[in-house]
Structure 1
Amino acid sequence: MSDPVVEEPLEQDGAGQPDGFRRLWMPHRMAYLKGENRATGDSPEECPFCRAPKLADADTLIVARGTCVFTVLNLYPYNSGHLMVCPYRHVADYTELDPAETAELAGHTKLAMTALRAASGAQGFNIGMNMGGVAGAGIAAHLHQHVVPRWGGDANFMPVIGHTKVLPQLLGETRQLLADGWKAAG
């Protein structure tokens, strides 16, 4: 992943009107926005949520493993510490979970909240699932519940005006903090 490029305001040279703003460019995000190299997850062979548990936790950003579900950092987070709770079984809809999966998904969600509060002082959470592509699920074929930590003022000028999200920590560092917090919470 390349570092963001910051450009000084342009002089009027046909490339735009000068406005005194500096520009923060994140060209590597365009691949995600276009859906390039993103698995649909339609089959277990191409599903990143089916592949991840077969690899090392640090390599796939898995924070915790249970019997029926695992919890992983989102590779494209809305906020620092954005977690997803996923069943190991390749299942698309919440109503398809068996009772043990449903219970453990709820338990992991509670532990995720506890770990995020301990590791980062989260003051609130957005928790939910997007069922189906039309509902916004990026990988609709494999159910996953989002646990997004929130803080007062986290929707400041950067995302609101600058359409830029600032994440203060590398994902590997965040994973380690949360994995440690998870052990303390459990």
Structure 2
Amino acid sequence: MARLNLGSYDEGAGTGGDDGPVRVDDPSYLVGVPDEFQRLWTPHRMVYIQQGDPGHDDCPFCVAPSMSDEDALIVARGKYAYALLNLFPYNSGHLLVCPYRHIAMYDEATPEEVAEIGSITQTAMRVIREVSHNDGFNIGMNQGAVAGAGISAHLHQHIVPRWAQDANFFPIIARTKALPQLLGEVRASLANAWPHP
């Protein structure tokens, strides 16, 4: 395979390789040309580029409700709690249910917060099942950093949809999860299916 010659640009030059330098005014020439790089597309991280990281001192679950649903990946808002997509999902549709109040432990939640977290969880299960046709769920809370909570200062419950064939060798061999949909697409499909009172 001929190597691309990206040297001297010449308006009348050929298409690269043995034919002369690449015409940089015709980028379509490079479409589909293989190179040595593997690519992991992460468009959901544009929010950090466009809006900046809120900082290590700001709780993302406290900041999220002040943002638009699309920017914060919020699927549904209640009076005491809300549901948003996990930025680092185990599977497509991995939701988190958080109280608005900044509390760390489940036993600090008020009866109203507990009831709404439960209600949002049930609705989320129905909506995910309707949209994704999953076979089951993992639901749970990691209480405290020692128990595996990534953001231990703000209570959140995980709702992870599961399919009979959702596990493969990627996480074991390559420490990689294959996710078929972008986060924005998942948020839109769940939000559109969410029942509104």
Show the counterpart of 2:93: 81
How far the C-alpha of 1:38 sits from its partner, in A, is 8.4
2:183 to 163, 171, 176: 171
Distance 2:55 2:152 in 1: 11
Say yes or no: does 1:127 pair with 2:111: no
Show the counterpart of 1:138: 150
Distance 2:71 2:123 in 1: 22
- Residue pair 1:85, 1:108 contacting (<8 A) in 2 also: yes
Matched positions, count? 154
Q: Secondary structure in 2 aligned to 1:152? A: coil
> What TM-score comes out, normalization by structure 1 length?
0.76
What does 1:13-162 correspond to in 2, within 5 Å? Answer: 26=40, 46-162=58-174
- Residue pair 1:80, 1:167 contacting (<8 A) in 2 also: yes
How far the C-alpha of 1:181 sits from its partner, in A, is 1.7
User: Residues 38, 78 of structure 1: CA spacing in aligned structure 2 closer, same or farther, 3 A cutoff?
Assistant: farther
Deviates more, 1:154-163 or 1:140-149: 154-163
For structure 1, list consecutive stretches of 5 or more residues without a partner in the other structure. 1-5, 9-22, 29-36
Question: Rg: which structure is higher?
Answer: 2
Q: Secondary structure in 1 aligned to 2:187? A: helix
Q: Secondary structure in 2 aligned to 1:183? A: coil
Show the counterpart of 2:47: none
> What are the superposed Cα offsets for residues 5-36 of structure 1, whole Å, 9 maximum, x if unpaired?
x986xxxxxxxxxxxxxx956598xxxxxxxx
How far the C-alpha of 1:118 sits from its partner, in A, is 0.8
Equivalent AA in structure 1 for residue 121 of structure 2: T
Tell me the percent identity. Answer: 56
Distance 1:182 1:27 in 2: 28
Show the counterpart of 2:49: none
- Residue pair 1:40, 1:141 contacting (<8 A) in 2 also: no
Q: Secondary structure in 1 aligned to 2:159? A: strand
Distance 1:74 1:147 in 2: 9
Q: Which consecutive segments of 4 or more residues in structure 1 shift more than 3 A?
A: 23-28, 37-41
Distance 1:106 1:151 in 2: 22
Q: Secondary structure in 2 aligned to 1:148? A: strand
> What are the superposed Cα offsets for residues 77-111 of structure 1, whole Å, 9 maximum, x if unpaired?
11111000000000000000010000000001101
Show the counterpart of 2:6: none
